[in-house]
Amino acid sequence: MSVVILALETSCDETSAAVVADGSQILSNIISSQVDVHRKFGGVVPEVASRKHLELLNRVVEEALAAAGLGFKDLDAVAVTYGPGLVGALLVGVAAAKAFAYGLDLPLLGVNHLEGHIYANFLAEPGLAFPLLCLVVSGGHTDLVLVEKHGRYRVVGRTRDDAAGEAFDKVARTLGLGYPGGPLIDRLAAGGDASAISLPRAYLEKGSLDFSFSGLKSAVINYLHRAAQRGEEVNKADLAAGFQQAVSDVLTEKTLAAAKETGVSTILLAGGVASNSGLRAALTESAGQESIRVVIPAPVLCTDNAAMIACAAYYKYLRGAFAPLTLNAVPDLKL
C-alpha cells in the first residue's frame, strides 16, 4: 500500500504543488515561478509574492493532481512548508494546506523548508545510509548539516554574513546581469578564466566550519569601482568565473573538512546554489580524491519545489509526526 502525499511550497517566490508516492515516486511536481513579476524590482517583493501565491495556488494544486492522474480522494496526507521564509508567502500555503486537510479529513504534515532541500536527495536515493553530511546552499542559508537519522539534524557550520545564493545575487546585480543572479553568473562564468582575476577566500579561524562571503562580495564590487575610476574595461566573464571559483573552493574545502571531522562518508548537496555547475564539479572532484561519495539532486529538485517537501513529509508520516490544525507560519524556523 503506497502513501500518496500532496505537498505545497510557497515560502518565497515559487508557487509549487507536488504529488509524491512513498517519498520517492514523483507523480507530479508543478512549479510556477514568479520570477518575471519580481525581476523588474531586482529581487523578491514580499507583499507581491503573497498576492501571487494566493492567485496561483489553487490552479497549481489542480494541475498537480491532474498531472498525477489522481483526485483528492486518492490522497493520504497533505504537507506544507511552514518556515523559514517570507511570513505572508508561507501563510498562503499553510492556510491552504490546513483547509485541504480539514476538508478532506486527512492528516497534516508541517515541513521545515531546509529539511525539504535536504530531502531532495532522498527523492533520488531513498536508501541513503546515515550519518550524512549535507551542504545546504540557498538564497537565505549556507549551512553544513550533519543528518544523524531521519529528522535529526546538527548544524556544524553556517555563514556568519551573506548566504552563498545572496552573494551570487548581489554580485550579479553589481555586474548588471539581472535577477536572479546565480544562474546568470553560472552561464557567464562558463566563458571566463577563473584564474585571470585574483579574489579572496575567507577560511576564518583555524578549524572553523563557518563561512563568510561578504569580503569576497566587497572585493568584486571594489574591483569594478576601481576599473570604472580608471576607465578600464572589465572582462565580466573572467570576474564571474573568478567569483564562482572562490565560492566553490571555500564551500568544497569546508564541506570535506566537516566530513572528515564527523567521519561521514557520504556528502549531500542541497538548495538553489547546488545547481551551480562550478560547485557541483568542484565538490565531486575533491570528494572523489578522498573516496567520499557525493549525491547531488537534479537541478530542478535543488531550487524550490514541492516534491522535496512531500519527500521530507513522507518520513514524518512514517513516524507519525503530524501537525495540528493550529499549525502556523514560522518565518525564522530553525532546523
Binding site membership for substrate: which residues? 136-140, 169, 182, 186, 276
Q: Interacting stretch for ligand KG4, rule CB under 6 A, among 190-198, 233-241, 267-275, 285-293?
A: 267-275
Other CB atoms within 10 A of residue 148 CB: 14
Tell me the binding residues for Fe cation: 113, 117, 304
Alpha-carbon gap, residue 184 to 188, rounded angstroms: 6
Quick one: 281 or 325, whose CB is closer to ligand KG4? 281
Given 162, 186, 238, 304, the residue binding Zn ion (CB under 5 A): 304
Applying CB under 6 A, does 12 fall inside the site for ligand KG4? yes
Q: Which residue positions form the known binding site?
A: 113, 117, 136-140, 169, 182, 186, 276, 304
Smallest CA-to-CA distance from 8 within 91, 131, 132, 66 is with 91
- Alpha carbons 312 and 147: distance in angstroms, whole number: 13
From candidates 93, 157, 165, 242, binder to ligand KG4 by CB under 6 A: 165
Contact partner at residue 57 from ligand KG4, Zn ion, none, CB < 5 to 8 Å by partner kind: none
Q: How far apart are CA 215 and CA 160, in angstroms?
A: 11
CB of 229 to Zn ion, least distance (A): 38
Q: Contact between 159 and Zn ion (CB under 5 A)?
A: no
Q: How far is the CB of 303 from Zn ion (least distance, A)?
A: 7
Cell of 158: 553556517
Which lies closer to ligand KG4 via its Cβ, residue 77 or residue 135?
135
Does residue 213 touch ligand KG4 according to CB under 6 A?
no
Candidate residues 110, 116, 139, 242; the one interacting with ligand KG4 per rule CB under 6 A: 139
Which of ligand KG4, Zn ion, none sits in contact with 107, Cβ below 5 to 8 A by type? Answer: none
Q: Which of 181, 192, 242, 297 binds ligand KG4 (CB under 6 A)?
A: 181
Q: Parallel, antiparallel, or unpaired: how do β-strands 152-158 and 142-149 relate? A: antiparallel
Contact of 123 with 297, CB cutoff 8 Å: yes
Q: CA-CA distance, 157 to 144, in Å (whole number)?
A: 5
What distance in Å separates the CA atoms of residue 182 and residue 63, rounded to the nearest whole number?
A: 28
- Give the shortest CB-126-to-Zn ion separation in angstroms: 21
34: partner contacted, choices Zn ion, ligand KG4, none (Cβ within 5-8 A by kind): none
Q: Which stretch binds ligand KG4 (CB under 6 A): 98-106, 137-145, 231-239, 307-315?
A: 137-145
Would you count residue 138 as binding Zn ion (CB under 5 A)? yes
Residue 50 or 138 having the CB closest to ligand KG4: 138
b/e map of 219-235 (b: 16 or more CB within 10 Å)?
A: bbeebbeeeeeeeeeeb
Residue 168 makes contact with ligand KG4 by CB under 6 A:
yes
Q: If we measure between CA atoms, which residue out of 242, 238, 244, 235 comes closest to residue 278?
A: 244
Best CA proximity match to 7, nearest among 140, 126, 100, 123: 100
Rounded to a whole number of angstroms, the minimum distance from the CB of residue 252 to Zn ion is: 21
Using DSSP's 3-state secondary structure scheme, residue 16 falls into strand
DSSP 225-290: HHHHHHT----HHHHHHHHHHHHHHHHHHHHHHHHHHHT--EEEEESGGGG-HHHHHHHHHHHHHT
Binding to ligand KG4 by residue 303, rule CB under 6 A?
Answer: yes
The answer to whether the beta carbons of residues 13 and 34 sit under 8 Å apart is yes
Give dist(CA 233, CA 224) in Å, integer.
Answer: 9
Q: Least distance to ligand KG4 from the beta carbon of 167, Å?
A: 8
Stretch (H or E) spanning 314: helix 306-318
23 binds ligand KG4 (CB under 6 A): no
- Which positions from 91 through 130 interact with ligand KG4, judged by CB under 6 A? none
**Which residues would be at the binding site for Zn ion (CB under 5 A)?**
138, 304
Residues that bind ligand KG4 (CB under 6 A): 12, 138-140, 165, 168-169, 180-183, 186, 271-273, 275-276, 303-304
